[in-house]
Amino acid sequence: MRLDQFVSQAMGISRSHAQSLIRQGALTLHEQLLKNPSQHIKPHDPIKLEQTLLTLPQPLYLMLNKPAGVVSATTDPHQRTVLDLIQHPHKHTLHVVGRLDKDTTGLLLLSSDGDWSHRIASPRKQIGKTYLVTLAAACNDEALEQLRQGIQLHGEKHPTSPAQVILVSEQQLRLTIYEGMYHQVKRMLAAVGNQVITLHREQIGGLGLDNELAVGEWRVLSDEERDEF
């Protein structure tokens, strides 16, 4: 990894601040000054800042109860992002694990562990994502059966995998899908002649949204929750 990336993550500072420290000659490796921010180093190299050994933080695994109106991104020049809701010294190391649309609420995972995130997001893993869907009109038996069989969406090469569908009320259902196509739930319901009014993600695999988390709140996953994936 790059030296400036290492220093940024190890100290919880911006990349530009890390580059400034490096150029000032504040970093050493085996008593040799390091002055090139783009130099590649190994994560376990004994790099010191004024004789203090720097180490990378442990990977982070977070759960957020995402509110509507916030984009699933780490930076955006014009809109509030989910990372703006996180107060953690190493939040700059986080990425979003399977984004939610701006108007979709509920369970969102963030992590600094790329391998863990890939296991969750990869379609090959067939990890279910469960949503509570509120509809503009009643959902009839024919539409429910189409969802359960799989739907050929416009612009996609293959039909969706069969979804699990539970009718909660005439205009509300609990839908579990196994892919992550663009606007998939909204497109699936549009394909059967309906419209999504609200969309709330309740669960990913065996991990459900913590009922104690208020909208906009987050917490670190337990070891057991992390090991769900």
- Predicted TM-score (pTM) of this structure: 0.81
Question: Do 200 and 160 fall within a single domain?
Answer: yes
Residues 107 and 220 in one domain: yes
Q: Are 166 and 141 in contact (CB under 8 A)?
A: no
Residue 68's contacts (CB-CB under 8 Å, 6 or more residues apart) are 102, 103, 104, 105
Q: Tell me which DSSP letter residue 10 carries.
A: H
| Domain endpoint, select from 53, 74, 92 | 53
Out of 38, 53, 68, a domain closes at 53
The active-site residue out of 76, 84, 101, 103 is 101
18's CB contacts (< 8 A; 6+ apart) are 4, 5, 7, 8, 11, 37
CATH number of the CATH domain containing 148: 3.30.70.1560
Written as six digits, the tokens of 147 are 């969802």
The percentage of the chain sitting over the pLDDT mark of 70, rounded to a whole number, equals: 100
Indicate if 163 and 217 belong to the same structural domain.
Answer: no
Q: Give the chain's domain count.
A: 3
Q: What is the CATH number of the domain that holds 34?
A: 3.10.290.10
Indicate the pairing of strand 164-169 with strand 129-135. unpaired
Query: Around Cβ 132, how many Cβ atoms within 10 Å?
Result: 18
132 and 192 belong to one structural domain: yes
- Token pair recorded at residue 215: 């909208």
Domain range for 17? 3-53
Same domain, 180 and 215: no
Same domain flag for 74 and 119: yes
Asked if 3 contacts 22 with a C-beta cutoff of 8 angstroms, the reply is yes
Beta strands per DSSP E along 129-195: 129-135, 164-169, 172-177
Are residues 177 and 220 both part of a single domain? no
Tell me the average pLDDT across 153-157: 91
Please check whether residues 152 and 172 belong to one and the same domain.
yes
Distance of alpha carbon 157 from alpha carbon 188, whole angstroms:
15
Could you tell me the CATH number of the domain that includes residue 211? 3.30.70.580
Structure tokens at 133: 């869907």
Q: Are residues 14 and 112 in the same domain?
A: no
103 assigned to active site: no
Q: What secondary structure letter does DSSP report for 174?
A: E
CA distances from 45 to 15, 21, 27, 61, 107 (A): 19, 18, 12, 25, 37
pLDDT, tens digit (0-9, with 9 covering 90-100), for 88-138: 878 888 999 989 999 999 999 999 999 999 999 888 888 999 999 999 999
User: Do 147 and 162 fall into the same domain?
Assistant: yes
> Coil, strand or helix: which one is 110?
strand
**Range in 71-85, 88-102, 208-222 the model is least confident about:** 88-102
Same domain, 84 and 119: yes
pLDDT of residue 43: 86
Q: Are residues 83 and 66 in the same domain?
A: yes
